[in-house]
Copies of this chain bind each other. A is one copy, B any other.
Amino acid sequence: MSKALCLDMEGVLTPEIWLHVRDRSGIQELNLTTREVKDYRELMDRRVEICARHGLALADIQRYIAELEILPGARDFVDWARERYQVFILSDTFYAFADNFMRQLGRPALFCHDIFQDAGRLRYTLRQENPKQKAVEALRGLNFRVGAVGDSYNDIHMLRAAHTATFFRAPDGIRAEFPEYGNLTEYKDLKIFLSENL
């Protein structure tokens, strides 16, 4: 059976990018997350507007991201997974943000969005609506058995679409709302879960 593993990036394998940009830039308005602004396009529009107002360019953000390391144990986990499954990182981040992390992870396949600097302003394009669910459905259409691992609201449709799924280091609120996915906190337990279920 051909098997695919779909992993969220931030929180599961890497730190949260925008929280680090907020800390390093000192722009407290960047505190916004999908908890405050549910619609991702609206959230990104707000972030782009905030960056423009403070003169924060793509190169600045990339410089901050370059300071970050993937989570301890993430590379070992991804290497383990790639010996067993076809691994896909499904993320709502942007290629120009994630490159530092992909290099550290040994460049697994990444499905995310595009962002670029257009004169004084960030511009972004979302590859499609509901991209994580659509990627899982595409892999199912290619007759893969699909596992999914995520930690937040934008992962729910991906977890639902997969054959087997779990939260990993998810906050209390979302775990209480979707208890059916359980929650793991250590890569060693994730390996056991995948070995038994995917």
Residue ranges of A at the interface with B (Cβ–Cβ < 8 Å): 1-2, 79, 82-83, 86-88, 95, 99, 106-114, 127-128, 131, 134-135, 138-139, 141-144
Contact = CB atoms under 8 A, between A and B. Distances in A.
A111, A113, A131, A144 — most chain B CB neighbours (10 Å): A111
Given A83-B107, A109-B87, A142 B114 contact: no
Contact of A2 (B82, B127, B134): B127
Per CB-CB distance, the 8 closest pairs between chain A and chain B, nearest first, are: A138-B138, A82-B107, A109-B109, A127-B143, A128-B143, A86-B109, A2-B127, A138-B142
Contact of A142 (B87, B107, B135): B135
Nearest to A99: B83
A135 B113 CA distance: 20
14 contacts: A1-B114, A2-B112, A83-B99, A86-B109, A86-B110, A106-B106, A107-B108, A108-B109, A109-B109, A127-B142, A134-B141, A134-B142, A135-B142, A138-B138
**For the complex formed by this chain, how many copies does it contain in all?**
2
Task: Label chain A's interface by main secondary structure.
Answer: mixed
A98 to B, nearest CB: 11
